[in-house]
Amino acid sequence: MIEISAAQLALLTNGTLSAGTDPELRIDVALVATDSREITAGGTYVAKAGEVADGHDFTAAAFAAGAVLTLAEREVAADDAGTPFPAVVVADAVLAMGTLAAEVVRRIRAHSPLSVIGITGSAGKTTTKDLLAGILSPLGPTVAPVGSYNGEVGVPLTVFRADLQTRYLIIEMGATKVGQISYLAGMVNPDLGVVLCVGSAHAGEFGSIDNIAAAKGELVQALSPAGRAILNYDDSRVRAMSGRSGAPVTFFSSADAAELADGAPAQFVHARNVVTNADGQPEFDLVLPGGTDAVAVRSKLLGLHHVTNLLAAASAAHALGAPAAHIAASLNEQHAVSRHRMERTDRSDGVTVVNDAYNANPESMRAALRTLAELGSGGRRTWAVLGEMLELGEGSVLEHDAVGRVAVRLNISRLIVVGAGARAMHVGAVMEGSWGDESMFVPDAEAARAVLAAELAPGDIVLFKSSNGAGLRFLGDQIALQTGNDPLETTEIASGERTAQP
């Protein structure tokens, strides 16, 4: 438990105490929450303005649930007389969370050894942090993000779950603008910085893929000479980040060292004999630096693209001193943890559902389609139900068109394109040579559900893939729970209230 008094919190965040707040009131940092529904007895509620609602409006609900203090941007009256709820009032509640998180990290480091691992990249962050947490947890108390907590709010919430005994703190770092990762890195001071890839996710917000690379590289730039950068050698933009770091570098690659024309770097983690098995799961021999023998990795994850994530997790764990045999054994036992990321469900009627609709960009779309094609290579009929890739900017139409063409080139049996924002996928598929009803455009998830309910047959494999905001993960959940002619209520598509178990 890490405690701080109301007076200390006010001093730390340059805030003021509301009238009547006990300056000696002590709070447990682990009980800080930004959602009033997640408050428990003794908790601290962070009232911040959101995109849809103002958190201050839920202050009374938070105190009814057991809150003892709020970190807020204004006082909120607790009664008709105008007496305010106990609060530390600050100029910006989100920035105040970051300041408190930095203090938590400082206190842990002052108490005992702590390794902070930052992970960023346009795709694969959540899977990699799950894998790394699985490797490190048996070696010492480990804290990793819940789901995809990776921004100015999610990173502090992750830090708040750490205590003085935490040995490994894994931080997922996302960004929608230049400077964001620098801010997060300054908050937690990572010892290791892992960069997976630079893709076109959020290209509309960043303006260009070069700006995305600049933003991701902020992580390695923040490392001290005593730290270590873990970089994907196979991505040229990530490989170039080695020049931005004052820390030593470990590269990882899916290529055998012997295949590199210029020879392998001194610290090089790589995979030999990479294949996928009949279930679409990657298998390879893992080679770590230091002259150790290769160890066999036989992953339970779905898709060849996970080789990058497996190698990244192995590289970070090795840099932290984990034995090779332990790394391989852990990777071989781990299943997907976070939902809607190549999540496979085999229905009792023989239909296989792959729900990968948590997020999407052109690179992850292609990877998911390749996996679908591999799963269907034995003669099973394949369906791709694809929705919009958001935040791609001016290149959005061309990128969607290209994905549709890839689906045709991979001989995906049926393509259902959902929603006006994704329509260019259908156009691209038609222009590439799709014929008849191989590709179809439907306006919404309900229309897609109707097609699937009528035409899915035993033995079919159906992939759901879209950006989170497009919501196809809910349709994927529904179809995964459905068997034959046993449809669920159609309202559940939008609400997502009924979901498959992880």
Which domain CATH number covers 23?
3.40.1390.10
Question: pLDDT tens digit string along 21-63?
Answer: 999 999 999 999 999 999 999 999 999 987 788 999 999 999 9
As a whole number of angstroms, the distance between CA 438 and CA 425 comes to 13
pLDDT at 497: 29
Residue 198 and residue 72 share a domain? no
Question: pLDDT tens digit string along 66-98?
Answer: 999 999 999 999 998 999 999 999 999 999 999
Phi, psi (degrees; rounded to nearest 5) at 306? -75, -10
As a whole number of angstroms, the distance between CA 128 and CA 122 comes to 12
Q: 194 CB contacts (<8 Å, ≥6 apart)? A: 117, 118, 119, 120, 121, 128, 219, 230, 312, 315, 316
pLDDT at 154: 95
Residue 323 and residue 192 share a domain? yes
Residue 144, both tokens:
């990793």
Residue 139 and residue 213 share a domain? yes
Residue 384 and residue 316 share a domain? no
Residue 324 and residue 275 share a domain? yes
Instruction: List the domain range (segments joined by +) for residue 416.
Output: 343-495
pLDDT at 391: 81
Residues 144 and 157: beta-carbon distance below 8 Å: no
Identify the segments of the chain with pLDDT beneath 70.
200-205, 207, 257-258, 261, 483-502
Q: Is residue 100 part of a domain?
A: no
Residue 295 and residue 159 share a domain? yes
CA-CA-CA-CA dihedral for 315, 321, 326, 332, to nearest 10: -20
Domain end call among 333, 356, 380: 333
Q: Is residue 501 part of a domain?
A: no
Q: Which residue is it, tokens 């990244």?
A: 312
Count of all residues that appear for the chain in the document:
502
Q: Is residue 403 part of a domain?
A: yes
Q: Is residue 149 part of a domain?
A: yes
How far are the Cα atoms of 172, 253, 481, 492, 500 from residue 489, in angstroms, in the given order?
36, 46, 11, 6, 15
As a whole number of angstroms, the distance between CA 67 and CA 60 comes to 9
Residue 350 and residue 232 share a domain? no
Q: Is the dihedral of CA 481, 487, 492, 498 positive or negative?
A: negative
Q: Is residue 68 part of a domain?
A: yes
Q: Which residue is it, tokens 């691992």?
A: 117
pLDDT at 148: 79
Residue 310 and residue 172 share a domain? yes
As a whole number of angstroms, the distance between CA 485 and CA 4 comes to 57
Q: Which residue is it, tokens 């992580």?
A: 219
pLDDT at 488: 38
**pTM (2 d.p.):** 0.86
Residue 357 and residue 317 share a domain? no
pLDDT at 202: 57
Which domain CATH number covers 352?
3.90.190.20
3-state secondary structure 78-146: CCCCCCECCEEECCCHHHHHHHHHHHHHHHHHHHCCCEEEEEECCCCHHHHHHHHHHHHHHHCCEECCC
Domain end call among 333, 351, 374: 333
Residue 237, both tokens:
């933009």
pLDDT at 259: 73
Q: Is residue 10 part of a domain?
A: yes
pLDDT at 501: 27
Q: Is residue 99 part of a domain?
A: no
Domain end call among 57, 91, 125: 91
Q: Is residue 220 part of a domain?
A: yes
Residue 297 and residue 272 share a domain? yes
- Averaged pLDDT of the chain: 91
Do the bridges between strand 32-33 and strand 142-143 make them parallel or antiparallel, or are there none, so unpaired? unpaired
Question: pLDDT tens digit string along 217-244?
Answer: 999 999 999 999 999 999 999 999 999 9
Which domain CATH number covers 150?
3.40.1190.10
Q: Of 316, 269, 274, 315, give the one whose Cα is nearest residue 297.
A: 274
Residue 149 and residue 274 share a domain? yes
Query: Could you give the number of structural domains in the chain?
Result: 3
Residue 145 and residue 67 share a domain? no
Residues 248 and 267: beta-carbon distance below 8 Å: yes
